[in-house]
Chains A and B, each alone.
Chain A
Amino acid sequence: MKLGNKRRLTQIAAFIISNLGFIRIFKTGFVCPFLYCYGCPFAAFGCPIGIVQNFIIYQQFPLFTTGSLGIYGVLLGRAFCGWACPFGTLHDILSHSNVKRSIQTRNHWYVKYIILLLTLGLAWVALDTVFCKFCPSGSLFAAIPFRLIYPEAAEFGLFFYIHMLTLALTIVLALLISRFWCRYLCPLGAIAGAFNKVGILTIDWDEAKCKKCKNCLDVCVMRITEMKEVGSSTDCILCGRCVEACPEKALSFKIKS
């Protein structure tokens, strides 16, 4: 089976598993390794960013969540973004045809780290899950399904319209810029990206085999611009598109010791 098909199957499986909470006993206390909103009526796991904010509000250090994210990160780095995240999957669908036309620059990559700090800081100051009020993943996977399932539960107020606005903006930008949210704004991507440096899974580049055709960089949805950054950059989501695109088989997934 082609790597691309394996990735699509994994993304579908991750979406189904994330929604197993529609069977009550599958609503668990585990945190998922990607941005999937636990406000979704069917969510089976907690969103790490939402859970961390709640622990900050309770004035507790989120050690369980930190440990979980640490294990996910050390084992697979940012591969969950490329292979499992439902919001990343939406971006893959939206930017399917625009990867080569997408903005090549990696300027402003640091914005997601600012968003992460703001998320944690605002939870501390406001004692509220402020990021969740704007999160477009929450808009899509929680706000809309909640209104569809419980139409009588609440009126369509300001916060709902803010959700719709952030979702609409993200969709428009994702149509123009491949993996827009993952590249520039995702606070969980900021955390997971740091683990690419120490993660066990990586993409290995065999310089001797490489003919410098740059097919790999052309298909990169995260628009990585340097060969040496493939697999180790904090932006690499280890999706394997570059591995598929290489005619010389100079790139391959590798378990690094």
Chain B
Amino acid sequence: MYKAHFKLKLLLLVSFVFMIALNINDYWLIETLVRYVCTSCVGIG
């Protein structure tokens, strides 16, 4: 039972790592969003 839970968590973790690895290009888009002013957040639009 515990072994099955552990394997399930490991599988979940690995799938999340794959999700990131396969979409690593999103990093640059997020970096751009962080670098530029979010008008909604600062209350100007």
| Chain A residues within CB distance 8 Å of chain B | 21, 27-31, 37-41, 43-46, 50-51, 54-55, 62-68, 70-71, 74-75, 128-130, 132-133, 135, 138-139, 142-143, 146-147, 153-154, 157, 159-164, 198, 200, 257
**Which residue of chain B has its CB nearest to the CB of A39?**
B41
5 A-B interface contacts by CB (under 8 A): A64-B24, A70-B13, A70-B15, A70-B16, A133-B40
B42 touches A74 (CB 8 A): no
A37 touches B38 (CB 8 A): yes
Contact code string B14-45 (vs A, CB < 8 Å = 1, else 0): 01111110111011111111110110111111
Give chain A nearest CB distance to B24 CB in angstroms.
7
Give chain B nearest CB distance to A29 CB in angstroms.
3
Shortest 7 CB-CB contacts between residues of A and residues of B? A39-B41, A67-B19, A29-B31, A70-B16, A160-B43, A64-B26, A39-B38
A43 to B34, CA, bound (A): 7
If the complex has contacts A63-B26, A64-B27, A143-B41, are A71 and B33 also in contact, measured as CB distance less than 8 A?
A: no
| Chain B residues within CB distance 8 Å of chain A | 2-3, 5-6, 8-9, 12-13, 15-20, 22-24, 26-35, 37-38, 40-45
Give chain B nearest CB distance to A122 CB in angstroms.
11
Residue from B3, B9, B27, B44 having most chain A Cβ neighbours under 10 A: B44
Chain B residues with Cβ under 8 A from A157's Cβ? 43-44
Chain B residues with Cβ under 8 A from A62's Cβ? 26
Q: Is the interface of A mostly helix, strand, loop or mixed?
A: helix
B41 touches A46 (CB 8 A): no
A46 touches B30 (CB 8 A): yes
B9 touches A70 (CB 8 A): no
B12 touches A198 (CB 8 A): yes
A160 to B17, CA, bound (A): 38
If the complex has contacts A74-B16, A198-B9, are A142 and B31 also in contact, measured as CB distance less than 8 A?
A: no
Partner of A50, one of B16, B18, B37, B41: B41
Chain B residues with Cβ under 8 A from A40's Cβ? 41
**Which residue of chain A has its CB nearest to the CB of B42?**
A146
**Which residue of chain B has its CB nearest to the CB of A162?**
B43
**Which residue of chain B has its CB nearest to the CB of A31?**
B30
A64 touches B19 (CB 8 A): yes
Chain B residues with Cβ under 8 A from A54's Cβ? 33
Residue from A55, A128, A153, A159 having most chain B Cβ neighbours under 10 A: A159
B19 touches A70 (CB 8 A): yes
Partner of B5, one of A28, A142, A147, A257: A257
A44 to B16, CA, bound (A): 22
Chain A residues with Cβ under 8 A from B34's Cβ? 21, 27-29, 38, 43-46
**Which residue of chain A has its CB nearest to the CB of B2?**
A257
A58 to B24, CA, bound (A): 17
A38 to B32, CA, bound (A): 11
